């Protein structure tokens, strides 16, 4: 068998069985190998940023990597924005990037580029296969690299001749994936210091991120908080949070700098649980970069990438609270709001109508700043955020999440400005019949940037500057846009219309888009 087939077989055997793909000439032997190897689901994306974003969404919900298939350096470059977001989310991913045949590179054909150089800032592991004899082993090493804690990006560059030449392997054979090291455990000293801080009587908060926001780790955090009076605060954006009735409630650090400083101003001790110390997303004139007060003492219980689940279990044991039941969110009667559409009402409608087990992918930006509090007592759901800040991640992430969890409703909370970056994702949603409902908040502007004008002291900007944040003239018709890409949809101008459209989206056997006029 050729190198491409040996690679596909090794990927499938290594539990990498979904490939989000936008191939070109140099990847055709990999594409042909998909017909020879059972077990690989290949999902076509019309833009590489959709492929990498979908792989990120899959990893967040499946807790294992998918692969992407990208066409040379320019194809990789198109996918780098959402690779950046995946790096920040610690989402495992195996990228297969085609390249010119090894003997063709010296001719400097038009698509020749430094692929390794382009991949390096957005990959933890990079390798270029040198011959077909190496491809399967390189693929196995890429899988192992992606699965290293806390989840990493592996990029394997596959020259065309290494794909079409004979691999030297018997038909149907694979290379086993090397063992992955266990996560590093925290130290006894770190546990002892956390116990001392929690028993000191000072105003203390645990600063959390995934996986401390899921499962038994979240319950242990709740036990610790209830026994000691500590607050539970999640970092602003998180890979995945489990929320809703019956789960431990966690505060979330706001995105805007002033309320985030206000939330932390009275904290004497901040215990980091898999997080870094909180800092502002940007520098603002006259405002601090570090969000805690200078007097706040910061202690790392677990560093990023360490075994956070074990740390919280150990800490709960040391405090003698492992056997206790944590306080969880009680069920509330949530009313469906009526009348004119407002941002506050949108959050309450989402809390009232989201179904059990929903996966909420949030790229709502300014429209969604009230959603977190309003959905506190919703039915149990998972919440996904964009950790990297590069917009255009929401629509692609829904594809991967829906493929990882086909029996769950995915709800995309999407701003119109961000959606325009990767609107091709709607076509893949339709092609794959994903159970995704997109709530498209149409204020026809980059509204978040208007707020940032004031934050950086440039609020007196004139018409030319404001035009750079305006998405009107012409207005975009999202219902027609979605329809042209195969996604059914409707427009809502009142809360009553939105409630009806929301139910239609839940009933749809496939993707649905609701344009919400703000």
Per-residue pLDDT reduced to its tens digit, 127-146:
999 999 999 999 999 999 99
Query: What pLDDT score does 370 carry?
Result: 86
Q: What is the model's pLDDT at position 452?
A: 67
CA distances from 496 to 139, 179, 336, 337, 512 (A): 52, 55, 9, 8, 18
pLDDT band for position 245 (cuts 50, 70, 90):
very high
Helix (H) or strand (E) holding 270: strand 269-273
Task: List pLDDT tens digits, range 273-326.
Answer: 999 999 999 999 999 999 999 999 999 999 999 999 999 999 999 999 999 999
* Domain count along the chain: 3
Domain membership flag for residue 174:
no
Q: How far apart are the first and last CA of the chain?
A: 57
**Confidence at residue 518, expressed as pLDDT on a 0 to 100 scale:** 87
CATH number for 371: 3.40.50.970
**Whole-angstrom distance, CA of residue 398 vs CA of residue 171:** 37
Residue 466 has pLDDT above 90, yes or no: no
Clarify whether residues 16 and 147 are in a common domain.
yes
350-386 pLDDT, tens digit per residue, is 999 999 999 999 999 877 888 999 999 999 999 999 9
Return the pLDDT at 448: 62
Last residue of a domain, one of 117, 149, 164: 164
| Secondary-structure breakdown of the chain: helix, strand, coil percentages, each rounded to the nearest 5 | 40, 20, 40
pLDDT tens across 4-45, in order?
999 999 999 999 999 999 999 999 999 999 989 999 999 999
Range of the domain at 75: 3-164
Q: State the pLDDT at residue 220.
A: 98
Query: Would you say 492 and 469 are in contact if contact means Cβ atoms under 8 Å apart?
Result: no
Please tell me whether residues 353 and 458 are part of one structural domain: yes
Q: Are residues 200 and 279 in the same domain?
A: yes
Residue 362 sits in the same domain as residue 308: no
> Are 355 and 501 contained in the same domain?
yes
Residue 82, domain member (yes or no): yes
* pLDDT band at 469; cut points 50, 70, 90: low
Task: Give the pLDDT confidence of 58-82 residue by residue, as tens digits.
Answer: 999 999 999 999 999 999 999 999 9
Which is higher by pLDDT, 35 or 270?
A: 270
């Amino acid at each position: 068998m050729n190198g491409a087939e040996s690679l596909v077989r090794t990927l499938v055997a290594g539990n990498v069985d979904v490939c989000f793909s936008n191939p070109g000439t140099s990847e055709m032997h990999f594409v042909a190998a998909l017909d020879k190897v059972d077990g690989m689901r290949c999902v076509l994306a019309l833009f590489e940023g959709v492929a990498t974003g979908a792989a990120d969404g899959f990893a967040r919900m499946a807790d294992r990597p998918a692969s992407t298939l990208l066409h040379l350096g320019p194809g990789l470059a198109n996918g780098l924005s959402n690779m950046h977001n995946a790096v920040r989310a610690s989402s495992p991913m195996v990228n297969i990037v085609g390249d010119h045949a090894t003997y063709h590179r010296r001719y400097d054909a038009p698509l020749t580029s430094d692929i390794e150089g382009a991949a390096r800032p957005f990959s933890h592991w990079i390798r270029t296969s040198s011959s077909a004899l190496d491809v399967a082993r390189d693929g196995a090493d890429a899988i192992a690299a992606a699965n290293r804690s806390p989840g990493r990006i592996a990029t394997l560059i596959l020259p065309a001749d290494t794909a079409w030449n004979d691999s030297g392997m018997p038909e149907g054979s694979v290379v086993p994936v090397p063992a992955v090291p266990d996560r590093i455990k925290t130290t006894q000293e770190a546990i002892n210091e956390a116990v001392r801080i929690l028993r000191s009587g000072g105003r203390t908060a645990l600063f959390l991120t995934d996986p401390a926001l899921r499962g038994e780790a979240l319950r242990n955090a709740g036990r610790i908080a209830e026994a000691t009076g500590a607050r539970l605060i999640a970092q602003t954006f998180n890979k995945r949070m489990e929320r809703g009735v019956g789960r431990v409630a966690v505060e979330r650090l706001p995105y805007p700098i002033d309320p985030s400083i206000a939330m932390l101003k009275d904290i004497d001790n901040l215990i980091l649980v898999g997080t870094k110390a909180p800092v502002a997303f940007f520098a603002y004139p006259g405002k601090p970069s570090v969000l805690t007060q200078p007097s706040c003492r910061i202690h790392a219980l677990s560093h990023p990438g360490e075994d956070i689940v074990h740390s919280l279990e150990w800490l709960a044991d040391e405090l003698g609270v492992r056997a206790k039941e944590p306080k969880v969110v009680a069920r509330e009667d949530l009313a469906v709001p009526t009348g004119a559409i407002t941002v506050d009402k949108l959050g309450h409608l989402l809390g009232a109508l989201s179904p059990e087990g929903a996966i909420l992918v949030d790229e709502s930006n300014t429209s969604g700043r009230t959603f977190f509090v309003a959905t506190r007592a919703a039915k149990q759901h998972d919440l996904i955020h964009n950790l990297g800040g590069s917009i255009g991640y929401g629509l692609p992430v829904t594809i991967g999440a829906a493929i990882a969890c086909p029996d769950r409703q995915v709800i995309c909370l999407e701003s119109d400005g961000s959606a325009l970056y990767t609107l091709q994702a709607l076509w893949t949603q339709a092609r794959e019949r994903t159970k995704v409902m997109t709530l498209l908040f149409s204020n026809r502007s980059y509204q978040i940037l208007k707020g940032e004008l004031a934050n950086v002291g440039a609020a007196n900007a004139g018409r030319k500057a404001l035009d750079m944040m305006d998405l009107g003239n012409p207005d975009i018709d999202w219902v027609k846009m979605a329809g042209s890409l195969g996604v059914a949809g409707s427009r809502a101008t009142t809360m009553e219309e939105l409630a009806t459209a929301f139910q239609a989206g839940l009933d749809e056997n496939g993707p649905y888009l609701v344009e919400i006029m703000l």
